[in-house]
Structures are given as C-alpha cells and as structure tokens.
Amino acid sequence: MKKLISAATALILMGAVCMAAEPAVQQATFTVSVASVFELSIDQGFIDFGRMNPGETKWNMPPAGIMVQAKTNGGKPWHLKISNDSPFSSGSNVISNSNFSWYGWTSGSGKWYGTGENTVSITPALVYSSGSGEDNNLPEGTVNHMKFRLKVPANQAPGNYTTVVKFTMTE
C-alpha cells in the first residue's frame, strides 16, 4: 500500500512540474535592404562660351566652375573620368579637341590628375581617383571642381558649335 501511494504521488508531482513553467514563444524575422548608393551629379549642365572671335582663347569657363559631386557607399575605390562624344562641331565644321582643355581642383583626399593642360578627348581620361575613406563618403560625397579652356583657331569657320562633355564614375 505504501508503494502504491508513493507511486501515485510521484506521478501527480510529475504532472505539476509539467504544468508550471512552459513559456509561450513566437518568432518573427526582420529584414531590411540597405540601398546601394553610387551617384554622380553636376550643378550645371549648360556651359556657354558665348561669342568668340577666330584666334581667341577663353579661360575660366564657367567662372564659378562646375561642381562634380561623387557619392558612394560601395566600399571600393572609384575613379572619375572625362570625355566628349565628339569635338565641338557646327554642321560639317569641327574645332579639334586639341583646342579644348579642362583643369580644376579637388576637395577630396584622393589623386587629382589635372596638370593644367589636359585636353578633352573622346577616350575617357582620368580626372580623379578616390583616396582614404572615400569608398564610403556619404552623405557629403567628394566634390571636384572643373573649368574649361577653349581656343578658336584663327581660320575657324563661323557658326554655333556644340559638344557634349561626359563625366563618368567607375569602380
């Protein structure tokens, strides 16, 4: 009889233990996609050298310079290049790229390639390579300042000449 009571007590106690502390649990997965930023912007998209005489050279265009701002959080070194799709042209007349050059300065910590006499070319040429800490330069980004010089050859045919200058940011 003692054994019987003992066994029954043990079973009831087991039941009590099982009832006591069974927490209720739910889980949820949280996700977020942090956006990739790789942006290049310029503060003005139209540069007018105005009326120029044959043989004339114009520096300092535009007077305030063009601000070229590069932003990235890609974590990799990057480069800024410059080119134009074709030289200044007006119909069939062309001002050779040898008369069109760029110069400027950087506010970044990387390498500036402007020597003062860099001609614009159809092949993209290096303007700037990122420096320390610029592989993630948000939010301000890195700003480079560009100016242009154009010489109109003495024998240039009159006309309205245009060219499209392209800035390219690459990793």
Partner 1 sequence: MISLGLRKLVCVGMITAALHPLAYAAPIQLTLEGIPSIDFGEVQPGSRKDLNEINGYHTSAKIESSENSVWSLYIKADDLLTSGPNTIAGNNFRWATWYAGFYKTGGSGSTDWYHRRAGLANLGTEISFIPLDNKLVYTSGASDDYPAFNDINHNGGYTEVQFQFILDIPYSQAPGDYATTITYTVTQ
Q: Which candidate, 106, 150, 147, places its Cα nearest to that of 128?
A: 106
Residue closest to 84 by CA, chosen among 68, 98, 71, 70 = 98
Q: Does 132 engage in binding with partner 1 (CB under 8 A)?
A: no
| Single residue of 62, 69, 74, 81 touching partner 1 by CB under 8 A | 74
Nearest residue (CB) to partner 1, 63 versus 139:
139
Q: Which of 14, 64, 122, 157 binds partner 1 (CB under 8 A)?
A: 14
Q: Which of 68, 53, 80 is nearest to 157 (CA)?
A: 53
* 36 part of the interface to partner 1, by CB under 8 A: yes
Q: Does 41 bind partner 1 (CB under 8 A)?
A: no
Q: How far is CA 151 from CA 95, 122, 154, 162, 164, in A?
A: 9, 18, 9, 14, 17
- By CB under 8 A, name the one of 42, 64, 122, 138 that touches partner 1: 138
Q: How far is the CB of 127 from partner 1 (least distance, A)?
A: 24
Site residues, partner 1 (CB under 8 A):
1, 3-4, 7-8, 11-12, 14-15, 18-19, 21-37, 73-75, 136, 138-139
